[in-house]
Amino acid sequence: MNAPVSPHHDVMRSQLGRARGLGSGHSGTGHWIAERVSAATLLPLSGWFVVQMFRLGGADYEEVAEWGGRPLNATMLAALVISSFYHAESGLQVIVDDYVHGKAHVPAKLGVRFVTGILGLLGVVAVLKLALGRPAPKA
Amino acid sequence: MQDVREALYVGSRSDGRLIRRPMSPHLQVYKMRLSMFLSITNRITGVVATAGSALGVAWLAALAKGPKSFAAARKVTGNPLGQIILGGWILSLVWHTVGGLRHFIWDVGKRDDKKSVNEDGPVAVGVIAGVSVTLAAALLGVSCCRSRSRAKLRKAS
């Protein structure tokens, strides 16, 4: 792969020659589309969340916990958390690709994965605990 | 560096001196324009919105943990500094949403000529400001009113 080439040869290589084998990883389009799809998913989910925040503004613990424990709310919350951090991860990956070069590139990309992944999981676990971990409210 | 791309960056100034030509868009070379500012801030607000979402998850975790930690979270959201941070989260989310929609419109090949881009920029700023201020003020108003009427009810009972 990295056969030693003379500087002369390297400069004389055509742009096409350079691009061959160095270019597309064939995953860019998929990443780009996934980013748009998660953005489109986030629009209705965020709208739902804003409406819920209007309903919950000023509410106390019991009311909010009961709200979060309802199956539909918990499902929507989990969907919101998952799409948010999925979208955040793909966006931050692109930012790292664009601005972090050299040795820091791989650790930065792994760091983005780790942080967004843990945050997303924490959100999902919290929602699951609200939905499953409490006794059903007395009707 | 023996990179063929480097050769493409060799240019000369009007006095004949060889320089490394700037990459585009180069912050130090081009005059800042609204479209450029909005494109850059679309990324920045994406990062800020992610940080805000991390706080949102912290709120959810506090709620799941129990009444004590939820009371602590409410201290943050009820505090003026916390509300400024919440307002910043709302602003960055609205900003990133409007920016993202504009980028998507350009991606499908619409409104991406110079004239339309310059026309739509100020509209985007207006929409961002209007939606964020309305949302933040309405949410603040609703939660203040409700907690106040609740406190009154508690006193009365």
Residue B19 covered by a domain = no
Residue A15 covered by a domain = no
Point out which residues pair with B10 in neighbouring strands: B20
Q: What is the pLDDT of residue B153?
A: 82
pLDDT at A1 over 50: no
Q: Which of residues 58-117 of B touch A (CB under 8 A)?
A: 60-61, 63-65, 67, 70-71, 93, 97, 100, 104, 107
User: Mean pLDDT over all residues of chain A?
Assistant: 86
Q: DSSP string covering A6-45, please?
A: -HHHHHHS-HHHHHTTTS--S-HHHHHHHHHHHHHHHHHH
Residue B88 covered by a domain = yes
Peptide bond just before B25 cis, omega within 30 deg: yes
> Which chain A residue lies closest to B54 (C-alpha atoms)?
A119
**Cβ–Cβ gap B139/A13 under 8 Å:** no
Complex prediction ipTM: 0.82
Helix-strand-coil split of chain A, %, nearest 5: 80, 0, 20
Give first-to-last CA distance, chain B, whole Å. 79
Q: Please, what are the averages of pLDDT over each run of 10 residues along chain B (157 residues)?
A: 69 86 72 90 96 97 95 92 96 97 94 94 97 96 86 79
Tell me the per-residue pLDDT of B100-110, one tens digit each, with 9 for 90 and over.
999 999 999 99
Total domain count, chain B: 1
Q: What is the pLDDT of residue B76?
A: 92
CA–CA gap between residue A46 and residue B63 (Å, rounded): 19
Residues of A in contact with B56 (CB under 8 A): 123
User: Residue type for A2, please?
Assistant: N
Unique residue bearing structure tokens 């933040």: B136
Cβ atoms of B67 and A61 within 8 Å: the answer is: yes
Q: What is the pLDDT of residue A2?
A: 53
Domain that holds residue A65: 27-132
3-state secondary structure of B20: strand
Nearest to A57 among B7, B70, B142 (CB): B142
Cβ atoms of A88 and A116 within 8 Å: the answer is: yes
Count CB-CB contacts under 10 A for residue A115: 16
Q: Given pLDDT bands bounded at 50, 70 and 90, which one contains residue A21?
A: low
Residues of A in contact with B78 (CB under 8 A): none
Total domain count, chain A: 1
Residue A8 covered by a domain = no
Cβ atoms of B141 and A56 within 8 Å: the answer is: no
Nearest to A129 among B64, B71, B143 (CB): B64
More confident residue, A105 or A13: A105
Residues of A in contact with B148 (CB under 8 A): 58
User: Residue type for B75, please?
Assistant: K
More confident residue, B11 or A6: B11
Domain that holds residue B88: 31-156
Residue A10 covered by a domain = no
**Cβ–Cβ gap B57/A123 under 8 Å:** yes
Q: Tell me the CATH number at A36.
A: 1.20.1300.10
Residue B127 covered by a domain = yes
pLDDT at A9 over 60: no
Burial letters B61-93, b for 16+ CB under 10 A, else e:
bbbbeeeebbeebbebeeeeeebebbbbbbbbb
Q: Tell me the CATH number at B107.
A: 1.20.1300.10
Residue A2 covered by a domain = no
Q: Is A102 on the interface with B (CB under 8 A)?
A: no
**Cβ–Cβ gap B50/A88 under 8 Å:** yes
Q: What is the pLDDT of residue B26?
A: 67
Residue B145 covered by a domain = yes
Q: What is the pLDDT of residue A86?
A: 97
CA–CA gap between residue A45 and residue B131 (Å, rounded): 17
Count CB-CB contacts under 10 A for residue B18: 9
Q: Given pLDDT bands bounded at 50, 70 and 90, which one contains residue A119?
A: very high
Residue A128 covered by a domain = yes
Tell me the per-residue pLDDT of A42-98, one tens digit each, with 9 for 90 and over.
999 999 999 999 999 888 899 999 999 999 999 999 999 999 999 999 999 999 998
Residues of B in contact with A57 (CB under 8 A): 139, 142-143, 146
